[in-house]
Amino acid sequence: MSIPSPPSSSNPLNLVDVRERLNAEAKKLGFSGLRVSMPDLSKAKLDLQKWLKAGHHGEMKWFERSVELRTNPQQLVPGTVRVISVTLPYSAENGAPAKQILKDKERAYISRYALGRDYHKVMRHRLAKLARTLSILSGTPPGRVFCDSAPVMEVEIASQSGLGWRGKHTLLLNRTEGSWFFLGEMYTTIPLPADPPSTQHCGTCSACMDACPTGAIFAPYQVDARKCIAYLTIEHPGSIPETLRPMMGNRIYGCDDCQLFCPWNKDPEPQTCPEDFANRENLDSGHLLKFFNWSEAEFNARLAGSPIRRIGYQRWIRNIAVAIGNGPKNEFTLQALRSALMKHSDPMVLEHVEWALQRLQKAS
């Protein structure tokens, strides 16, 4: 980018020009979309409060403490007049075919977003560069950037900016990419022209709801996190309810079913995804027993920089034990579970290993 001279009385800020330059820079940084909004989150706040009151957030107690900040961008970052939302693509075609792996009960299914480097880092790094560009263009300090970890209603804001519409699974999707992208934001004090929201295109389709293995999408646009396999395998700290374990199949980290069966995700236009997201450590199709045998040191070393490392070793082993219990009974699986009873000491892990062993022993 050629460095423009800062705005002054003789050279006032041309917001349309700034927006064009920002779009060009976003493209260079690998973002597949950039839109601007000044979101009205009053309805989202009521829905969020209902969701929390019903306890759908489970053990994600931090939600309860952040309702005001989450629904008031100006409270989170004083002076905010616009939110810039961006999409960063990842690919469902990353690695072995997802639906094939889901059927192979000896292999682990890991959500396609998590096969490479942690998206939080990749996104924030690129957003920080975008914020610097806007800072130079406008002569103001860089705006704050977010991805996932801050109290920001990312899907609601992005849908109001026109980056896509919210599907019945609650995720954002658009005509070109389906829903295979991450969302990120920049809160800014620059009054850029806002974009119109996009229209809805789900119609009467309920493929995502029908595909959900646990019935977590209990009504259109409403997910009970406590039943969602992404929550159970990633966010949930303790014992996984026994009634849900058989429904998890071989999914050991996250779940993609509501996206895999969405018609808008069938043939998304090919996107250039960041190299960072490329499959590593055979995470796309590795054997359950191989991952189950990793020591804690191996887990930490092999998954350095991966989002999976955030869940820690105990949850990793817990999740794999459940998947082994849902898989075939043979001398190798029985032996692996018996050895795990000797090797691990965490009561939560042992409880899941015992459950898996009993389930296989009962199986014919």
Q: Which is nearer to ligand SF4, 217 or 322 (CB)?
A: 217
CA–CA gap between residue 158 and residue 186 (Å, rounded): 11
Size of the site for ligand B12 (CB under 6 A): 34
Each residue 177-206 as x (binds ligand B12 by CB under 6 A) or -, in order, gives --x-xxx-----------------------
Q: How far is CA 40 from CA 71, 186, 308, in A?
A: 9, 16, 34
Question: Contact with ligand B12 (CB under 6 A): which of 115, 145, 163, 225?
Answer: 225
Q: Which does 214 bind (CB under 5 to 8 A by kind): ligand SF4, ligand B12, none?
A: ligand SF4
CA–CA gap between residue 102 and residue 320 (Å, rounded): 14
- Which residues are CB-neighbours of 160 under 8 A, at least 6 positions away? 37, 39, 40, 197
Phi, psi torsion values for 229, nearest 5 degrees: -65, -30
* 66 part of the interface to ligand B12, by CB under 6 A: no
CB of 191 to ligand B12, least distance (A): 24
* 86 part of the interface to ligand B12, by CB under 6 A: no
Token pair for residue 97? 């075919």
CB of 206 to ligand SF4, least distance (A): 12
Binding to ligand B12, residues 6-65 (CB under 6 A): 44, 47-48, 50-51
Tell me whether residue 47 is one of the annotated catalytic residues.
no
Query: Which residues are bridge partners to 35 per DSSP?
Result: 85
CB of 254 to ligand B12, least distance (A): 3
CB of 202 to ligand B12, least distance (A): 12
* 277 part of the interface to ligand B12, by CB under 6 A: no
Q: Is the dihedral of CA 44, 47, 49, 51 positive or negative?
A: negative
The answer to whether residues 162 and 197 touch, using CB atoms and an 8 Å cutoff, is yes
Q: Report the interhelical angle of 347-362 vs 312-325 (nearest 10°).
A: 10
Residues that bind ligand B12 (CB under 6 A): 44, 47-48, 50-51, 111, 113, 147-148, 152-156, 169-172, 179, 181-183, 221-223, 225, 228, 230-231, 235, 254-256, 258
